Amino acid sequence: QVIKCKAAVMWEANKPFSIEEVEVAPPKAHEVRIKIVATGICRSDDHVITGGLVMPFPIILGHEAAGIVESVGQGVTSVKPGDKVIPLFVPQCGECNSCLSTKGNLCSKNDIGSATGSMPDGTTRFTCKGQAIHHFVGTSTFTEYTVVHESAVAKIDSAAPLEKVCLIGCGFSTGYGAAVQTAKVEPGSTCAVFGLGGVGLSVVMGCKAAGASRIIAIDINKDKFAKAKELGATECVNPKDFKKPIHEVLIEMTGHGVDYSFEVIGRTETMIAALACCQYNYGVSVIVGVPPAAQKITFDPMLLFTGRNWKGSVFGGWKSKDSVPKLVDDYMKKKFVLDPLITHTLPFTKINEGFDLLRTGK
42: annotated active-site residue: yes
- Dist CA 327 CA 321 (whole Å): 11
47 is catalytic: yes
Residue 277 contacts residue 251 (beta carbons within 8 Å):
yes
Contact 132, 126 (CB under 8 A): yes
> From CA 83, how far away is CA 85, in angstroms rounded?
6
How far is the CA of 211 from the CAs of 182, 188, 198, in angstroms?
15, 6, 20
CB-based contact 33:145 (threshold 8 Å)? yes
- Among the listed residues 44, 98, 173, 261, the single catalytic one is 44
Catalytic residue among 42, 191, 277, 278: 42
Answer yes or no: are the C-beta atoms of 17 and 146 closer than 8 Å.
no
Q: Sign of the CA dihedral 281, 219, 191, 245?
A: positive
- CB proximity list for 139: less than 8 A, separation 6 or greater: 62, 63, 65, 87, 88, 89, 146, 148, 152, 169
Whether 44 is catalytic is yes
Reported in sequence order, the residue ranges of the chain that DSSP labels E, i.e. its strands, are 3-10, 18-24, 31-39, 59-60, 65-72, 84-87, 126-128, 131-133, 145-149, 153-155, 190-194, 214-218, 235-237, 260-263, 284-287, 309-312
β-partners of residue 128 are: 131
Q: Which of 107, 170, 207, 236 is flagged as catalytic?
A: 170
On whether the CB atoms of residues 265 and 253 are closer than 8 A, the answer is no
**Cβ(264)–Cβ(197) below 8 Å:** yes
What are the backbone dihedrals phi and psi of residue 153, each rounded to the nearest 5 degrees, phi first? -150, 140
Catalytic residue chosen out of the listed positions 47, 135, 149, 247 = 47
Is-catalytic flag, 191? no
Distance CA 38, CA 168 (A): 12
Annotated active-site residue in 18, 30, 63, 313: 63
149 is catalytic: no
Q: Which residues are catalytic?
A: 42, 44, 47, 63, 170
